[in-house]
Each structure stands twice: as C-alpha cells, then as structure tokens.
Amino acid sequence: MSRTDAAPGLPPTAALLPVTVDVVGLTVRAGVLQVLLVRRLLEPFAGALALPGGFVLPDETLEAAAARELAEETGVAPPGHLEQLRTYGPLDRDPRGPVVSVAHLLLAPAFGLPAAGGDAVEVAWHDVGPLLSRGGGGRTLAFDHERILADGVERARAKLEYSALATAFCGPEFTVADLRAVYEAVWDVQLDPRNFHRKATGTPGFLEETGRTTSGGTGRPAALYRLAAAAQDPGAVVLNPPLMRPDA
Amino acid sequence: MSRTDAAPGLPPTAALLPVTVDVVGLTVRAGVLQVLLVRRLLEPFAGALALPGGFVLPDETLEAAAARELAEETGVAPPGHLEQLRTYGPLDRDPRGPVVSVAHLLLAPAFGLPAAGGDAVEVAWHDVGPLLSRGGGGRTLAFDHERILADGVERARAKLEYSALATAFCGPEFTVADLRAVYEAVWDVQLDPRNFHRKATGTPGFLEETGRTTSGGTGRPAALYRLAAAAQDPGAVVLNPPLMRPDA
DNA sequence: ACAAAAGTGTTTAGGTTACACCCATGT
DNA sequence: ACATGGGTGTAACCTAAACACTTTTGT
C-alpha cells in the first residue's frame, strides 16, 4: 500500500486507503420490505447482486458520495432519508486488497427505476426476506454485502421504535393504515389496527392531520396525515413513549 | 490527492484517503463521567486536548487500530468494551487536508495511567460535563473531537437503556450500588436505590450472584454480582424490559 | 342491506413510582 | 444504641393488549 508522499503535512506512518460508500436502500412495496440491488458487470463477483456504491471522490463528504452513487446507479435523485450506517474493513472484504467501506442506509418510498434492459446497470428492488434467511444456502450477495444488509435492516427495525423514520417510507401524505403497513413489513409482525391508530395519532410531535381524506377505496375513507411540521428530519423526532415492537 | 496506481485492480477513479481512528474512552470515577484525553504535542492544534487516535496501518482492522492506538498512548492494554461509533469526514476536519476518521467508543473501568510527566504523551481522565456544556465558550478540543465526544456520550447513554453495557464500567465483580452509580453518572440523574435494585436483579440475563459480599464499609454488606455468564459481550445482552432513563 | 375499512370506548393485565419498612454491619 | 447503607413489600398510577362497538363509505 502506498505511503503519504502525496499528502504533505501528514506523518509518514499514515497509510492511504481506498474508501468506498455502499448504500442499503430499503423500501416497502406491496407490504414487503425490499432492498435496492445492482447486478455487477465487472470482476470481482461479476454477475452477482450487490449493494449500489462506489469510490469516494477526494472533494466530497461521505453522505454526498452516497447520494451521488445512488443517483448515478438508479438514474434518479433518490428521495427519502439517508444516514450513515457503519464502516467495514479494510481487511478480508475485497479480493483486490484492503478497502474501507462506509455503509449508508436509505429509507425511501418505492421510487421508480429506469426500465432495466438497456446497456445501463441493471438495478431493481428485491425482497429482503430470502436474502437474509440463513436456510437459503450460501452467499447471495457480493463481498460482505449480506452482512451489511443485515446490519441495515436491524438499524431500520430499531429506529422505527423510537423515531419518526417510518414516515420516510411513505410519500408526503399517508394514512395511518399506510404507516401501519410500513411497521408490519419492516418488523415482520401483525399489529392491531385499532391500537396502532390510537398510538400513532396520540404520540405528540409525530403526525399532523392534513384535513384531507382518501376516497375511492372500499370502506370508510381514511384521514390523510403528514409528518409533524416542526420536524425537518424524521430521524430526529424522538417518539416518547416509543412504539415498541412485539416480543415474538 | 493521489490516485490508485499503487493498488492494482482498483478502478482509476478510486481516490486514496488517509484513514484514522479516534477513541472516545469513557469511565466513571468518583461518581462522575470522565473521558480519556491526550495533550497534542504537534501541529495542528499543538497544546490542545484531543481524543487519542492515529492512522490505520495497511494490514490491520479498524478495531485493531483503535486498540493499538489506545495501548500506545496509555501504555497499558485497555480493559472494557470497545465498539465502533461512527465515521467522520473527509472534509473540513483537518487543516492539512481531507482525512477520514473512524471513531470508536471504549467503556471501561477507571484503569491506571502511567504517571504523566515523563517525555511520554500526557494522557489523563477529564470530566465530561464541562467539555460538553455549550456555555463554556469556544472550542475546547482539537479538530471536531468535541462533536465526536458528544456523539459517543449520547451513544453510551442510549445503550445503557437496553443493553448490559453499564457492567463494562465496573470491574469483574460489583455491587448493585456500583452499577447504580454508573447509571447515575452517565445519565446525570438520581435513581431510587430500592427500585433500581429490584429492576437490576430482576432483569433476566443481566446479573448473576457471586455468593460473596462486600465488607469494611459502613452499613450492611452488599452482595457482589457479575455479568451473567451466558453473556460474552455485555453489548450483546438485550435488556427486556429496558431500564429506561427518566424524562427529566 | 351488506361488506369493508376507519376510528372510539372499555376492560384487564403488567410494569413503574413512591415510599413504608425491615436487615445487617461498623462505631 | 445508633447511624448507615442494603434489601423487601405494597398501594397508586400508568401504559398497552385485547376486543366489543360505532362510523362512513362503495356496491
């Protein structure tokens, strides 16, 4: 590995390492938790599924790099909530040598992807369940991305309990049932609609009525809510008391 | 910044960055939360207090680098629990240029430090309170270490609620009062000794009686406990129900 | 009228808080 | 004997789980 002759001022013991960002992009579609994956075109792991990501450029922050890679690989500026997850490496990750990867977590509504099939990178939503079930056999994702995905899913599960991050999976306006579907998909549990409704609408600083209602579906129209206006970042909203996931 | 001509196989767009580890080393002494700080001898920020840390070597993991830097700067192999905190940078952190820093969190009993005063680095425990109070005026720590410290303290506070990490601040055997002192120092609250005792001893998978008791102090001797034997890593123990910190 | 989903009220069980009280030791 | 902290019991309160019930729409 090269030494720091290119970075004047740093001590000669400083090693330079390649730094990448990887993104665990989660969404809820059709009541199921899904993750954004790309098909790798190059070695190593050519043909395998992997998390979107790439190398950090010298003049950008880590979060900017994550957002840029997402935009490049999906073709759209991704909506939703982006936060840092944790950092992996640099050993035993990439057969080419030591690489540090700063993983990020994106929680977003199911946004459209450019029709896969051109010569662009193949990128699509995949159900999370089969990727994490240990019974499924060997490695299903490239590098250590299976572990990073597991860490990302666990982070998302934990954060739904005590923050307003579930709203990041919804559009700007949503019903209590929409929100409950997010909790049920991420936690993989069934929640009582009546108790959930009382808890969600009763938690101060969480939801705000828009005044509008849904129409067209079967059954009574539902009131539309948005994230409380005081909250800029849904990840910063502290739910007190928290919405606890069931033990089972 | 240099390109990756030294790392064959990596694409030419990959930038190499200096990667450091910094450690927020917390302990509880005399009922107060304290942090391990070093006095910087070199520019930048010569003379200022900083978190211990240094550059990652090319052939070690991030956690190994954190443990090595701690051992080098304190002169002893640090006990306690070490985990990754989060990653900062690379922009606007170091006047010498872009640097990525992977911060770690150490929770440990108050271990002895080599008598400061030789030609070694000056390293000592400092009260956390004054370093984080915003009223204290300007920057008290080098680089962005004040923010990293704040993040580390917040992480420690949160983890005491739902994990057995408070035991990492104690020695191998401790009384319930010792453990309560940890919670009171980290959370900066007063807890009811009777209710805390019931909660701590009644939480399954948390504490285990050694059979021994203290002696010598005033008052009735206290039973000595250790972390439940089933737990290898106190950070992995899930307290259910959690020990919640008071609202105030 | 009926089905379906939204939303409210009520009961009950379990956990937390506050505090009265007893226990075991040093002085 | 008394002070000091360790440890147990208990009643009031609070929250959440379970579920009966009402409301409002589409068909």
How much is the average pLDDT of A182-207? 96
Cα-Cα end-to-end distance for chain B: 48
Report how far apart, in Å, the C-alpha atoms of B195 and of each of A122, B168, B225, B228 are. 57, 22, 17, 20
Tell me which of A133-137, A172-176, B21-25, B233-237 is least confident.
A133-137
Among B70, B245, B228, B79, CA closest to B159: B245
Exposure string for A46-59, b = 16+ CB within 10 A, e = fewer:
eebbebbbbbbbbe
* Strand D bases with any atom < 7 A from protein Cβ: 3-9, 15-21, 23-27
Those residues whose C-beta lies under 8 Å from the C-beta of residue A205, and which sit 6 or more positions away, are A164, A228, A230, A231, A237, A238, A239
Q: Determine the Cα angle at A169 with ends A168 and A174, to 5°.
A: 90
Q: Is it the case that residue A5 has pLDDT exceeding 50? A: no
| CA A94 – CA B220 distance, rounded (Å) | 59
Those residues whose C-beta lies under 8 Å from the C-beta of residue B25, and which sit 6 or more positions away, are B35, B36, B51, B52, B70, B78, B106, B108
| Residue B111 token pair | 């271990």
Do A175 and A166 form a contact (C-beta atoms < 8 A)?
Answer: no
| CA A177 – CA A182 distance, rounded (Å) | 9
Bridge partners of A20, per DSSP, are: A55, A101
Q: Is it the case that residue A1 has pLDDT exceeding 70? A: no
Residue A11: per-residue pLDDT: 63
pLDDT band at B128 (very low <50, low <70, confident <90, very high): very high
| CA A161 – CA A245 distance, rounded (Å) | 7
Question: Quick check: helix, strand or coil at residue A83?
Answer: strand
Residue B37: per-residue pLDDT: 96
Q: Is it the case that residue B2 has pLDDT exceeding 80? A: no
How much is the average pLDDT of A33-46? 93
Do A134 and A147 form a contact (C-beta atoms < 8 A)?
Answer: no
Side chain identity at A103, as an amino acid letter?
A
pLDDT digits (tens, 9 = 90+) for B52-67: 999 999 899 999 999 9
Residue A49: per-residue pLDDT: 95
B73 is a catalytic site residue:
no
Q: Is it the case that residue A15 has pLDDT exceeding 90? A: no
Choosing from B63, B122, B184, B208, which is the catalytic residue?
A: B122
Residue B1: per-residue pLDDT: 42
A7:B15 CB<8 A: no
Per the model's pLDDT, the better-predicted residue between B84 and A136 turns out to be B84
How much is the average pLDDT of A21-34? 97
List, as ranges, residues 100-159 from A with C-beta within 8 Å of B: 100, 102
How much is the average pLDDT of B114-143? 79
Does A193 contact strand C, using a CB cutoff of 7 Å?
yes
pLDDT band at A119 (very low <50, low <70, confident <90, very high): low
CB atoms < 10 A from the CB of B230, how many? Answer: 8
Do B52 and B74 form a contact (C-beta atoms < 8 A)?
Answer: yes
Do A102 and B84 form a contact (C-beta atoms < 8 A)?
Answer: no
Please name the residue of chain B whose CA is at the shortest distance from the CA of residue A88: B62
Q: Give the total residue count for chain B.
A: 248
Q: What's chain A's average pLDDT?
A: 90
| CA B126 – CA B37 distance, rounded (Å) | 7
Among A23, A58, A235, A244, CA closest to A148: A23
| List of chain B residues whose C-beta atoms are within 8 Å of the C-beta of residue A6 | 1-2, 16
Chain A nearest CA to B1, separation (Å): 6
Q: What's chain B's average pLDDT?
A: 90
Q: Is it the case that residue B30 has pLDDT exceeding 80? A: yes
How do strand A100-107 and strand A16-29 relate by DSSP bridges? parallel
| CA B29 – CA B171 distance, rounded (Å) | 12
Q: Is it the case that residue B163 has pLDDT exceeding 80? A: yes
Those residues whose C-beta lies under 8 Å from the C-beta of residue A27, and which sit 6 or more positions away, are A33, A34, A35, A36, A80, A107, A108, A109, A110, A111, A125, A169
Q: Is it the case that residue A240 has pLDDT exceeding 90? A: no
Chain B nearest CA to A247, separation (Å): 9
Those residues whose C-beta lies under 8 Å from the C-beta of residue B219, and which sit 6 or more positions away, are none
- Whole-number distance in Å between B218 CA and C27 C1': 9
Residue with tokens 């808890």: A199
- By CB atoms closer than 10 A (0-12, 13-18, 19+), residue A242 is middle
How much is the average pLDDT of A64-81? 94
Those residues whose C-beta lies under 8 Å from the C-beta of residue A237, and which sit 6 or more positions away, are A163, A164, A205, A206, A227, A228, A231
Determine which of A4, A13, A19 to mutate to test the interface with B (most B C-beta atoms within 10 Å): A19
How much is the average pLDDT of A31-52? 94
Q: Is it the case that residue B15 has pLDDT exceeding 90? A: no
pLDDT digits (tens, 9 = 90+) for B41-95: 988 999 999 999 999 998 999 999 999 999 999 988 999 999 999 999 899 999 9
Q: Is it the case that residue A12 has pLDDT exceeding 90? A: no
What letter would DSSP give residue B93?
Answer: S
How much is the average pLDDT of A161-179? 96
- Measured between CB atoms, does B205 come within 8 Å of chain A? no
B17:A19 CB<8 A: yes
Q: Domains in chain B, start-ordered, CATH in brackets?
A: 19-159 (3.90.79.10), 162-227 (1.10.10.10)
| CA B62 – CA B30 distance, rounded (Å) | 32
pLDDT band at B3 (very low <50, low <70, confident <90, very high): very low
B7:A8 CB<8 A: no
| Residue B64 token pair | 């190994």
- Measured between CB atoms, does A7 come within 8 Å of chain B? yes
